[in-house]
Chain A
Amino acid sequence: MQTSVQSAVLVLEKLRPSPATLRAFGLLVVLLCVLFVASGQVSGHQILDNMRQAAPLGIITLGQALILMMGRLDLSVGATAGLANVVLAMTFAGNMDNMAYALSVTLGCGALVGVANGLLVVALRIPAFLATLATSLVLTGTTLVVTGGSPRGSIPAEFRVITEGWFLGVLPYSVILWLAAIAGLTTLVHFTMPGRRMLLAGANARAARLNGIAAGRMIVISFVLSSLAATIGGILLSAITGMASIGIADAYTVDSIAAAVIGGAVFGGGVFLAAGVSIGALILFFVQSLLYVVSLPPATRFIVQGGIIVLALALANIRRKSD
Chain B
Amino acid sequence: MLNGSIRFNLLLALPALILTILLVVFTASLSSSFLSSANLANLTNRVLPLGMVALGEAIVLMAGRIDLSVGTIMSLATAIMALTVSSIGWLAIPLAMLAGVGAGLFTAAGVILLRINPLVMSLATAAIVKGVTLLLLPKPGGQVSYDFYALLFEGESPLGVPLLIVILVYGAFILLAGWTRFGRSIYAAGSDPRAAFAHGVSSARVDLQVYALSGALAALAGVFLSIRILSGDPLIGDAYTLDAVSAAILGGIALKGGRGNLIGVLLAVISLVLINNTFNLLQLDTNLQAIAKGLIFVAALVFFMRGKAGDAD
Within 8 A of A (CB), among B114-157: 114-117, 119-121, 123-135, 138
- Taking a contact as CB atoms under 8 Å apart, the answer to whether B312 and A303 are in contact is no
Give the shortest distance, in Å, between B215 (CB) and chain A (any CB). 15
Q: When A302-B128, A309-B123 are in contact, do A267 and B117 touch as well, CB less than 8 Å?
A: yes
Q: Is B228 an interface residue (CB 8 A)?
A: no
**Tier of interface size on chain B:** 35 or more
Q: Is A141 an interface residue (CB 8 A)?
A: yes
> In whole angstroms, how far apart are the Cα atoms of A49 and B293 in the complex?
41
Among B120, B130, B288, the residue within 8 A (CB) of A309 is B120
Q: Which residue of B lies closest to A308 (CB)?
A: B124
Within 8 A of B (CB), among A218-274: 254, 257, 261, 267
- Taking a contact as CB atoms under 8 Å apart, the answer to whether B127 and A309 are in contact is yes
> In whole angstroms, how far apart are the Cα atoms of A140 and B121 in the complex?
24
Q: Is B255 an interface residue (CB 8 A)?
A: yes
User: Cβ of A124: which chain B residues have Cβ within 8 Å of it?
Assistant: 298, 301-302, 305
- Taking a contact as CB atoms under 8 Å apart, the answer to whether B298 and A134 are in contact is yes
Give the shortest distance, in Å, between A115 (CB) and chain B (any CB). 15
Q: When A302-B134, A314-B114 are in contact, do A145 and B291 touch as well, CB less than 8 Å?
A: yes
- Taking a contact as CB atoms under 8 Å apart, the answer to whether B116 and A317 are in contact is yes
Most chain A CB neighbours (cut-off 10 Å) among B285, B293, B301: B301
Q: When A134-B297, A137-B242 are in contact, do A310 and B116 touch as well, CB less than 8 Å?
A: yes
- Taking a contact as CB atoms under 8 Å apart, the answer to whether A133 and B134 are in contact is no
Among B119, B121, B127, B289, the residue within 8 A (CB) of A141 is B289
- Taking a contact as CB atoms under 8 Å apart, the answer to whether B131 and A125 are in contact is no
Q: Is B227 an interface residue (CB 8 A)?
A: no
- Taking a contact as CB atoms under 8 Å apart, the answer to whether B138 and A310 are in contact is no
User: Cβ of A206: which chain B residues have Cβ within 8 Å of it?
Assistant: 312
- Taking a contact as CB atoms under 8 Å apart, the answer to whether B134 and A145 are in contact is no
Most chain B CB neighbours (cut-off 10 Å) among A133, A310, A317: A310
User: Cβ of B132: which chain A residues have Cβ within 8 Å of it?
Assistant: 299, 303
- Taking a contact as CB atoms under 8 Å apart, the answer to whether B138 and A299 are in contact is yes
- Taking a contact as CB atoms under 8 Å apart, the answer to whether B116 and A313 are in contact is yes
> In whole angstroms, how far apart are the Cα atoms of A137 and B291 in the complex?
6
**Tier of interface size on chain A:** 35 or more
Among A126, A140, A205, the residue within 8 A (CB) of B290 is A140
Most chain A CB neighbours (cut-off 10 Å) among B120, B297, B302: B120
Among A71, A142, A309, the residue within 8 A (CB) of B312 is A71
User: Cβ of A306: which chain B residues have Cβ within 8 Å of it?
Assistant: 123-129, 131
Give the shortest distance, in Å, between B250 (CB) and chain A (any CB). 12
Give the shortest distance, in Å, between B303 (CB) and chain A (any CB). 10
Among A130, A297, A303, the residue within 8 A (CB) of B297 is A130
Give the shortest distance, in Å, between A47 (CB) and chain B (any CB). 27
Q: Is B294 an interface residue (CB 8 A)?
A: yes
- Taking a contact as CB atoms under 8 Å apart, the answer to whether B287 and A141 are in contact is yes
Interface of A is mostly: helix
Q: Which residue of B lies closest to A72 (CB)?
A: B313
Q: Is A73 an interface residue (CB 8 A)?
A: yes
Give the shortest distance, in Å, between B209 (CB) and chain A (any CB). 21
Give the shortest distance, in Å, between B142 (CB) and chain A (any CB). 16
- Taking a contact as CB atoms under 8 Å apart, the answer to whether B255 and A127 are in contact is yes
Q: Which residue of B lies closest to A116 (CB)?
A: B298
- Taking a contact as CB atoms under 8 Å apart, the answer to whether B302 and A138 are in contact is no
Among B115, B133, B135, B305, the residue within 8 A (CB) of A317 is B115
User: Cβ of A205: which chain B residues have Cβ within 8 Å of it?
Assistant: 312
Q: Is A150 an interface residue (CB 8 A)?
A: no
Q: Which residue of B lies closest to A71 (CB)?
A: B313
- Taking a contact as CB atoms under 8 Å apart, the answer to whether A317 and B114 are in contact is yes
Q: When A303-B132, A309-B127 are in contact, do A130 and B245 touch as well, CB less than 8 Å?
A: yes
User: Cβ of A174: which chain B residues have Cβ within 8 Å of it?
Assistant: none
- Taking a contact as CB atoms under 8 Å apart, the answer to whether B294 and A126 are in contact is no
Q: Is A135 an interface residue (CB 8 A)?
A: yes
- Taking a contact as CB atoms under 8 Å apart, the answer to whether B255 and A144 are in contact is no
Q: Is B110 an interface residue (CB 8 A)?
A: yes
Q: Is A120 an interface residue (CB 8 A)?
A: yes
> In whole angstroms, how far apart are the Cα atoms of A116 and B115 in the complex?
32
Give the shortest distance, in Å, between A310 (CB) and chain B (any CB). 5
- Taking a contact as CB atoms under 8 Å apart, the answer to whether B114 and A313 are in contact is yes
Among B133, B135, B294, the residue within 8 A (CB) of A134 is B294
- Taking a contact as CB atoms under 8 Å apart, the answer to whether A128 and B124 are in contact is no
Q: Which residue of A lies closest to B291 (CB)?
A: A141
Q: When A124-B298, A138-B291, A145-B287 are in contact, do A302 and B117 touch as well, CB less than 8 Å?
A: no
> In whole angstroms, how far apart are the Cα atoms of A314 and B120 in the complex?
12
With contacts A134-B294, A306-B129 known, what are 17 further pairs, Cβ within 8 A? A124-B301, A125-B305, A125-B311, A127-B301, A134-B295, A137-B290, A141-B294, A145-B288, A297-B134, A298-B134, A299-B131, A299-B135, A302-B127, A306-B124, A307-B124, A310-B110, A314-B116
Query: Can you report 14 A-B residue pairs in the complex whose CB atoms are below 8 A from each other?
Result: A131-B301, A145-B291, A267-B117, A297-B134, A299-B132, A299-B135, A300-B131, A305-B124, A305-B127, A306-B127, A306-B128, A309-B124, A310-B114, A314-B110
The 6 A-B pairs with the shortest beta carbon distances in the complex, nearest first, are A141-B290, A302-B131, A306-B127, A299-B134, A303-B131, A306-B128
